[in-house]
Structure 1
């Protein structure tokens, strides 16, 4: 079971890397007002959602403790990010506000995951 959990943790990290990497690659374009949500950002957020739900289930099935409050907060942040990226995915350029919100919420999700023990 540990190997399976670690595989999904790796996939979850790949998802967040795709989301944050897409944001970081568009930072220069944001300064010019031409930033957009690239498909990798949507796919990364969806990967995080699916693997995160699977990880919670696997950890509970393995009788490992799960901090439900932490999971709910992380899920709420991810749903907000996913909603912003999904709604604005086809626009040629995105305003700075929603774009910065996605980057800030993604970063907050990373810090919650790593610092909240």
Structure 2
């Protein structure tokens, strides 16, 4: 079961890389006011959501103790990110504060995952 969990952790990291990478590729455009949510951002957020839910289930099945408060906060932040990206995905340009908020929430989610023990 550890191999399966590690595979989903890898897929979860690929999802965050896609979301953050999509944001970083649009940083220059954000400065010019022409940033948009690219499909990689939506797909990365969806990948994170699905693999995160699977990871919680697999870890519970293994009997590992889970920090449900941490997981709930991470899920809430991810749902906000996903909602913003999904709703604005077809717009030609997104306001810089909204686009920056998605980037800040993404980075916050990373730090919650890494630093909250």
Whether these two folds match at TM > 0.5 is yes
Q: Measure, in 2, the Cα distance between the counterparts of 1:17 and 1:59.
A: 22
Structure-to-structure mapping, 1:17-96, within 5 angstroms: 17-96=17-96
Tell me how large the CA RMSD over aligned residues is.
Answer: 0.3
Shift of 1:98: 1.0
Structure 2 gaps of 5+ residues are none
Task: Give secondary structure in 1 for the equivalent of 2:5.
Answer: helix
Structure 1 segments of 4+ aligned residues over 6 angstroms from their partners: none
Q: Measure, in 2, the Cα distance between the counterparts of 1:38 and 1:16.
A: 14
Task: Give secondary structure in 1 for the equivalent of 2:74.
Answer: helix
What do the CA deviations read for 1:65-103 (whole angstroms, capped 9, x no partner)? 110000000000000000000000000000011100100
Aligned residues: 117
Structure 2 length-normalised TM:
0.99
Structure 1 gaps of 5+ residues are none
